[in-house]
Amino acid sequence: MIDIHTHILHNCDDGSDSLELSLKQISNMIDKGVTDIVLTPHYMNSYVQTDAIIIDKQFKELQNATTDLNINLHKAGEIFLTPGVDEKISKNLCIGDSSYILVETNMGEFTPDIYETLFLLVRKGYKPILAHPERYNYIMNDPEMAEDFLHRNVYLQINAGSILGLYGSKVAKTAWYLINHGFAHFIASDNHCKVDEYILPVALEAIRDNIDDYTVNLLSEVNPKKMLNNEKIKYFYLEKQPIVKSGFFKKILNKL
């Protein structure tokens, strides 16, 4: 299992606030079968210079502290899309040695500069992955819009918590819609180290039970491996629409 979106790098953002906590979370993730963790601290346009230095420094420290552990760590950032960010970022914000980047937008309304900025990033050779589209109001209100991102060479990453209903029923419904229509390329934890439980395996089991093994493997192993190797991933991959077993979504919603 590969987790491509985490806030485990210590003292960088609103995630882990100590090296000890990061090590505790990593050891928990190893126990659950994680082999690779991508560290994606929030990265805002206005702090680019400082953040790049901090991320590099913290990454070296965490790597040194995990040399005896059976885990591969990959440095990256979660880049907040604002006009001009394409001019500010450089290769050191890509995921590991690849040209994939994790990006996020504001949670509210869609603004045309989102597409313009993504276009400029793609033109520069980056391969953007949009983090948790199911949590954005503009996607929740119009889930078919997700397909536009794929046509614009943008991949989509769903949060494990969204699948399990942790952000509410509308987000859960959108997350399942995106997976069920073949618009999702990755599932990740977006782990902010606020709770001990690591929920990515739980979300994967829900997908296994209600869709199939193929989708679980694709979103948590096959695509993440291709990403780390900088191989191309298909934007559209679904030949036959999987069927969510009846009653499952109702069961999830009843738990909310």
Q: Residue numbers of the site for Fe ion (CB under 5 A)?
A: 78, 190
Residue 86 or 190: the one with the smaller Cβ distance to Fe ion is 190
For residue 14, the minimal CB distance to Fe ion (Å) is: 9
Residue 51 or 78: the one with the smaller Cβ distance to Fe ion is 78
Q: How many CA atoms lie less than 13 Å away from 37 in the CB half-sphere?
A: 31
Residue 80 or 248: the one with the smaller Cβ distance to Fe ion is 80
For residue 188, the minimal CB distance to Fe ion (Å) is: 9
**How far is Cα 24 from Cα 208, in angstroms, rounded to an integer?**
27
For residue 79, the minimal CB distance to Fe ion (Å) is: 11
Backbone angles phi, psi at 63, to 5 degrees: -65, -45
CA 178 to chain centre: 14
Nearest to Fe ion by Cβ — which residue?
A: 190
Residue 89 or 211: the one with the smaller Cβ distance to Fe ion is 89
For residue 214, the minimal CB distance to Fe ion (Å) is: 27
